[in-house]
């Protein structure tokens, strides 16, 4: 399972950008949609996009070693600035030479700003122009996280890509608060840029905000492009909003952001979202979903999610996926996993390995389809396998916006009829 040679036959980049700590090369484009396949040179690794980044909150992905992550061909993983700043803390990380050395990881790292955790997880969070005031869960004291402190922590962690501290509001929020947060996030970005002490070693990505308001999203994206950043993130989504609004905000953002720089859609990890958003021009994704759902005994497959704790797998001696090459599928049966998931740490570990392998394989397939300029055909095949003939309306609408019409019959006679559900309720079996 390697991507080492997947771009070997391609010629010169179609377009590119260079920053002190990042070089981005667009190597192939879909002739129908906005999908593209690219190479991203980071200080610690050269990653291929579109890519999915597993989340290792405190410098570890639960139950998985860094050696296993390399075997699974993960290019970049995430760390959480709030949790890493609390424990082990910046002083210890600096003594260790940064998080890469501390966790024995020689590939890419991305850290978030910590702002989302301040607002979503902590009590008495209060947003001011200075920063985020919150109650420390360890000692109950009030603390302040400023844009400068967030960048300082991330400089100590040493990730290849850092995220600005932004003023986080729920994607369901409307009214003046959304615009206030958008403008404040821009001001905090400028403060973060000034505080960044390692610009030749680490990349600072700003975040497009603006809620579900097209005008505010447009202003935000346009303002960010004036900062000449090495890459850009699309934030403030995947928070419970209707998927019809979600994809429109993603597509609006990719229409405005520079085409020669990476675009990162934060908090996205469902397989159908990865396929659709890649068609909309997104390059990078992260989400806790694949690893978190593994701890509940759910294995990811192309038809949906396989709940291995269900009794029907008790005497099923086939692997999770006969086409998967991960160590779990090569060595263990559904029956064995049925007896261990949610009961033994071994079961959690094995399903986590498979789910990460599933995500990595999906992203390789996406990249290969783009390189071979058959992405629309890949999308149709994927959607047919995952949903059958009834496909969520938002997926049909999103893909149609980039000239992939699922409602038009293909050579095999397949076409989609729409349903209003945003999510798949049951696997397509």
- Where in the sequence numbering do the catalytic residues fall? 112, 286
C-beta of residue 51 within 8 angstroms of C-beta of residue 75? yes
Residue with the two structure tokens 């690794």: 45
Residue 144: left if φ>0, alpha if ψ -120 to 50, beta else—which one? beta
Distances 284 to 47, 51, 262, 264, 367 between C-alpha atoms, Å: 10, 5, 7, 4, 12
Interhelix angle 345-371/375-387, rounded to 10 degrees, is 140
Helices 271-279 and 393-400 pack at an angle, to 10 degrees, of 20
CA distances from 118 to 123, 148, 150, 223, 350 (A): 8, 15, 12, 25, 32
Tokens coding 52: 């999915």
Placement of tokens 């973060």 in the chain? 192
Using an 8 Å Cβ cutoff, are 332 and 319 in contact? yes
Q: How many Å apart are CA 194 and CA 51, to the nearest integer? A: 30
Distance (Å, whole) CA 240 – CA 281: 22
Residues with Cβ < 8 Å from 54, sequence gap 6 or more?
Answer: 61, 69, 74, 77, 78, 286, 290, 291, 356, 359
Tell me phi and psi for residue 413, to 5 degrees.
85, 5
Phi first, then psi, for residue 93 (nearest 5°) are: -65, -40
CA distance 322 to 307: 17
Beta bridge partners of 31: none
HEC readout, 4-47: CCCCCCCCCCCEEEEECCEEEEEEEECCCCCCEEEEEECCCCEE
């Amino acid at each position: 399972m390697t991507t080492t040679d997947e771009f070997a036959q391609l010629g010169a980049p179609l377009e590119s950008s260079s920053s002190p700590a990042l070089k981005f090369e667009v190597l192939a484009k879909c002739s129908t949609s906005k999908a593209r396949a690219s190479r991203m040179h980071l200080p610690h690794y050269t990653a291929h996009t579109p890519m999915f980044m597993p989340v290792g909150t405190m410098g570890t992905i639960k139950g998985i070693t860094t050696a296993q992550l390399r075997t699974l061909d993960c290019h970049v993983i995430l760390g959480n600035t709030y949790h890493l700043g609390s424990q082990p803390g910046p002083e210890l990380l600096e003594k260790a030479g940064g998080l890469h050395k501390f966790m024995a990881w020689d590939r890419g790292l991305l850290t978030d700003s910590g702002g989302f955790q301040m607002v979503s997880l902590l009590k008495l969070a209060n947003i001011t122009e200075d920063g985020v005031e919150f109650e420390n869960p360890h000692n109950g004291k009030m603390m302040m996280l400023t844009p400068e402190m967030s960048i300082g922590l991330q400089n100590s962690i040493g990730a290849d890509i850092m995220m600005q501290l932004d003023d986080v509001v729920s994607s369901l929020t409307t009214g003046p608060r959304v615009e206030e947060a958008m403008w404040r996030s821009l001001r905090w970005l400028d403060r973060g840029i000034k505080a960044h002490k390692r610009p030749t070693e680490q990349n600072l990505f700003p975040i497009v905000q603006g809620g579900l308001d097209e005008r505010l999203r447009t202003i935000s994206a346009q303002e960010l492009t004036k900062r000449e950043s090495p890459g850009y993130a699309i934030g403030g989504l995947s928070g419970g909003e209707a998927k019809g609004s979600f994809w429109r905000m993603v597509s609006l953002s990719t229409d405005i952001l520079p085409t020669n720089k990476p675009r990162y859609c934060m908090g996205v990890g469902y397989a159908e979202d990865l396929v659709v958003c890649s068609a909309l021009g997104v390059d990078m994704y992260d989400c806790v979903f694949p690893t978190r759902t593994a701890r509940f005994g759910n294995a990811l497959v192309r038809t949906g999610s396989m709940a291995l704790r269900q009794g029907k797998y008790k005497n099923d001696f086939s692997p999770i996926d006969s086409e998967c090459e991960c160590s779990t599928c090569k060595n263990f049966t559904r029956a064995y996993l049925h007896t261990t998931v949610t009961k033994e740490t071994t079961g959690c570990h094995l399903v986590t390995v498979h789910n990460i392998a599933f995500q990595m394989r999906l992203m390789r397939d996406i990249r290969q389809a783009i390189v071979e300029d058959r992405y629309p055909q890949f999308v149709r095949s994927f959607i047919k396998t995952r949903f059958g003939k009834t496909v969520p309306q938002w997926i049909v609408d999103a893909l149609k916006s980039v000239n992939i019409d699922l409602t038009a019959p293909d050579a095999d006679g397949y076409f989609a009829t729409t349903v209003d559900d945003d999510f798949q309720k049951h696997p397509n079996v």
